[in-house]
Amino acid sequence: MKNYKNKEISSLKSGDIAAYESLFRQYYAALVLFAVKYVSDIDIAREIVQDFFVRLYEKRLTISIDVSIKSYLYRSVYNSCINYLNQRNIHEKHVNNMRIENELDEDAEKEIMTLDLQHKIYAIIEELPVKCRQIFKMNRFEGLKNEEIAQMLNLSKRTVETQISKALKILRKRLAGFEI
């Protein structure tokens, strides 16, 4: 048996295509099934095994096999599967990090836009006529009802409503092009 292994390995190293094809035919299906156990995807398992056989042929001159060819093949495919899983994990972490960064960027951008809008609203409110600004602030910021404002400022309820309406109209007009 040991002579057969040595002959098989030496045939492979010498570039004997028939020996290589025989090895491929003999082990390909079993190695694919073996790889599926690790990567859980038949297409990826096939690709891993095919890539391994290509590398095996390309590196046939420098290969040092000190175990049975079967053990070597299974160990090599196992290592290829582990490499694939490690690369996939790294890729998934990178994609996840990019997603988180994008979400943080979007959140920061929304926050900046919200702050810009708030600043713009406060600036517009400060530009309102004095009585209009006072009534609007009492209503929106202090939470007072129109009747309460009217009583406190000795105005009619209708005047308070008109001033609030005027403030809202100015705000809508000045904020018309502002996006958030």
Q: What is the pLDDT of residues 94-133, one digit of tens each?
A: 888 888 887 777 777 888 888 888 899 999 999 999 999 9
Q: What is the DSSP string of 95-106?
A: HHHHHHHHHHHH
Q: What is the pLDDT of residues 17-31, one digit of tens each?
A: 888 888 899 999 999
Where does the pLDDT of residue 7 fall: very low under 50, low under 70, confident under 90, or very high at 90 and above?
confident
Q: Does the pLDDT at position 1 exceed 70? A: no
Q: Which is nearest to 163 in space by CA: 141, 138, 143?
A: 138
What is this structure's pTM? 0.52
Q: What is the pLDDT of residues 124-142, one digit of tens each?
A: 999 999 999 999 999 999 9
Q: Does the pLDDT at position 84 exceed 90? A: yes
Q: How crowded is the C-beta side of 52, counted as CA atoms within 13 Å? A: 26
Where does the pLDDT of residue 13 fall: very low under 50, low under 70, confident under 90, or very high at 90 and above?
confident
Map tokens 């972490």 to a residue.
Answer: 93
